[in-house]
């Protein structure tokens, strides 16, 4: 599978494989979908231990690459179906933020250099309704939005590092606004 390589303005300038993208730190497109409920819980996905970046830690509910020629919104719908089994309503998908991030995974040596569209989706089911894609991850864990900011330092290694960045905390604040929790 090939992914589009983009410039800083998100204009396609080439294509490369996933392996080449992460080995060489090529700027590419990704999506994130944060599933949340009215009670203020975020549903974190536990990454598979075989993943080429950040194996075995809690991460965004759904995340993935935008395939070559695919729109961000369509990638969000596809990835949500693949990673959770949910067919979500495109009209209820909320664009929270567009980010530019360059991260190095010190445990694997891979580089994730992305422009990512971050979406939110009000999930009205239970964690048991989420069906992890076989060999993709190890399940989902609900965590209250309010508890993220106070995770003890010793427990932060359970989560992907960027979750404690100002950008992520701002995103969680936007989700709280959507559900009406201040």
Read out DSSP for 113-144?
EEEEEEEEEE--S-GGG--PPTTTEEEEEEEE
Higher pLDDT, 53 or 1: 1
Domains identified in the chain, total number: 1
Domain extent at residue 104: 2-179
Look up the CATH number of the domain holding residue 35. Answer: 3.90.79.10
Look at residue 182 and tell me whether its pLDDT is greater than 60: no
Other Cβ atoms less than 10 A from the Cβ of 156: the count is: 13
pTM of the model: 0.88
Percentage of the chain exceeding pLDDT 90: 65
> What's the 3-state SS for 73-119?
HHHHHHHHHHHHCCCCCHHHCEEEEEEEEEEECCCCCCEEEEEEEEE
Band of the pLDDT at 181, cuts 50, 70, 90?
Answer: low
Residue 3 has pLDDT above 60, yes or no: yes
pLDDT at position 106 is 65
Write out pLDDT tens, residues 132-144.
876 678 899 999 9
How much is the mean pLDDT over the chain? 90
What would the pLDDT profile of 63-107 be if each residue is shown by its tens digit? 999 999 999 999 999 999 999 999 999 999 999 999 998 877 666
165 has a pLDDT exceeding 90: no
List C-alpha distances in Å: 136 to 8, 62, 153. 30, 11, 27
pLDDT reported for residue 169: 85
């Amino acid at each position: 599978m090939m992914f589009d390589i983009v410039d800083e303005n998100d204009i396609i300038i080439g294509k490369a494989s996933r392996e080449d993208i992460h080995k060489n730190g090529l700027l590419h497109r990704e999506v994130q979908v944060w599933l949340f409920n009215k009670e203020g819980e975020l549903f974190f996905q536990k990454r598979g231990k075989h993943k080429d970046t950040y194996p075995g830690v809690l991460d965004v509910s759904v995340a993935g690459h935008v395939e070559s020629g695919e729109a961000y919104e369509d990638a969000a719908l596809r990835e949500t179906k693949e990673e959770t089994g949910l067919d979500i309503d495109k009209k209820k998908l909320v664009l929270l933020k567009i980010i530019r991030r360059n991260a190095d995974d010190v445990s694997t040596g891979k580089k994730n250099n992305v422009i990512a569209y971050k979406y939110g989706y009000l999930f009205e089911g239970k964690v048991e309704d989420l069906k992890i894609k076989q060999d993709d991850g190890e399940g989902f864990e609900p965590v209250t939005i309010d508890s993220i900011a106070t995770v003890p330092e010793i427990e932060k290694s359970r989560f992907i590092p960027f979750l404690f960045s100002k950008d992520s905390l701002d995103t969680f604040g936007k989700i709280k606004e959507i559900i009406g929790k201040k």
